[in-house]
Amino acid sequence: YAKWIKVFFVRYDGNQNSSGSAPATQIKIIDKPLTLETNSGSLERTGFTFAGWSTSADGIGTEYPPGGTYIINSDVVLYAKWEPVP
């Protein structure tokens, strides 16, 4: 008989990147931690430095470092977080 496993989707958004590409969507299995993507697609934004991922496009949401762990059992879009180059 079939055994169903609940999964969640972690999607990535370049958030106004000027070049490169956001990582592909990851699948998270319920109750299992997921290692988040790094900036593997070489995202760049003119005048800014990539600073990780955020649950909000404006950067004030929950922050996750590149390669960090996501443990929440829900779908999420993670936006590239950008910091101005000094």
Residue-wise pLDDT tens digits, 68-79: 999 999 999 999
56 has pLDDT over 90: yes
Q: Are strands 48-54 and 7-13 parallel, antiparallel or unpaired?
A: unpaired
The answer as to whether 1 is a domain residue is no
Q: Which domain holds residue 58?
A: 7-84
The answer as to whether 38 is a domain residue is yes
Q: Are strands 63-64 and 69-70 parallel, antiparallel or unpaired?
A: unpaired
The answer as to whether 16 is a domain residue is yes
41 has pLDDT over 90: no
Q: How many degrees, rounded to 5, is the angle at CA 78 between CA 75 and CA 82?
A: 170
Whether the Cβ atoms of residue 73 and residue 31 lie closer than 8 Å to each other: yes
Whole-prediction pTM value?
0.92
The answer as to whether 21 is a domain residue is yes
Q: What is the CATH number of the domain that holds 43?
A: 2.60.40
Cα gap 63→66, rounded to integer Å: 10
Closest CA to 77 of 31, 8, 17: 8
57-66 per-residue burial string, b: 16 or more CB within 10 A, e: under 16? eebebeebeb
The answer as to whether 2 is a domain residue is no
Q: Count structural domains, the chain.
A: 1
